[in-house]
Amino acid sequence: MENTYLAKILPFLNEIEKDRREQFEQYFRTAPMWLMETFAVEELEEGTIFVQEGEPADMIYFIGKGLIKATDYRIYGINYDFMMFEKVYAFGGMEVIINLDKYQTTLQTATKCTVLKIPKEGFKKWLDSDIIALKQESRLMGEYLLEQARDSRMLLFLQGADRVAFLLMKRYRKYAHNGVLRMKGDRQDLSDFTGLCVKTISRSIKKFKENGMISMQGSYILINYEQYHRMKEMISDILAEDL
């Protein structure tokens, strides 16, 4: 498959950063023409739930631009956001690999997103006939599940401000630009990801600011490399692990 053809049918590839574009090119390097003819691109507004846990898994999604998050509503009906994605994953691919008919996770856009959609049956046919594609999807699924399990184990040992620091540390790794993370200081968002109440989040943010571990710019939280390194040392001391 020629990369120029992929860019022709997916124009957003010309508008995204090089690393993300290369991830798409790598993922679809062996995709047959008949599969690419089923590609559909859709623009989704922030806050759109496009995959609902328990609903029929009939479509595979790839995020071209923007960020999405996974949410669990099963515990007392409280939404717990447990993963933010920035890599090129086949959302719905896990259900294909382990032969499930329904989505196992609720996915929602955290920003405005450009989404590539592929019908499940065509995607499954491709994986069934292409060992390279199957191994690639299996590897990505394994990496995602390993990261999720590892983070869940770590959170068992972290409480209060330490849990908030762990989340900020992970976001720095994923989203820092030129050594600085700039993110909205939305207390409810941080509450959804940590499982802590908003009051605890506010106390933690205040503590970090007073200790010089974060800076504030209006409603935004800023974290530079030195501040990130201090958080990393704090969490590593608690978990006795090199993070």
Tens digit of each residue's pLDDT (9 = 90 or more) over 107-143: 989 889 999 999 999 999 999 999 999 999 999 988 8
pLDDT of residue 85: 63
pLDDT of residue 4: 72
Query: Residue 103 class from Cβ within 10 Å (0-12 exposed, 13-18 middle, 19+ buried)?
Result: buried
Query: CA dihedral in degrees (42, 56, 91, 153; nearest 10)?
Result: 140
pTM > 0.85: yes or no: no
* 159-239 matches 3-154 in CATH topology: no
Running DSSP on this structure, what letter comes out for residue 53?
A: T
pLDDT of residue 210: 93
Alpha helices in the chain, H assignment, sequence order: 3-9, 18-27, 33-36, 93-97, 120-129, 131-155, 160-175, 187-194, 198-210, 225-239
Q: How far apart are CA 70 and CA 79, in angstroms?
A: 10
For residues 112 and 46, the answer to whether their CB atoms sit within 8 Å is yes
For residues 36 and 4, the answer to whether their CB atoms sit within 8 Å is no
pLDDT of residue 84: 55
- Ranges of the chain whose pLDDT falls below 70: 1-3, 72-86, 239-243
Domain spans of the chain, in order of start = 3-154, 159-239
For residues 91 and 51, the answer to whether their CB atoms sit within 8 Å is yes
pLDDT of residue 72: 65
pLDDT of residue 77: 44
Looking at the domain 3-154, which fold is it? Jelly Rolls (2.60.120)
Task: Report, at the CATH architecture level, how domain 159-239 is classified.
Answer: Orthogonal Bundle (1.10)
For residues 57 and 94, the answer to whether their CB atoms sit within 8 Å is no
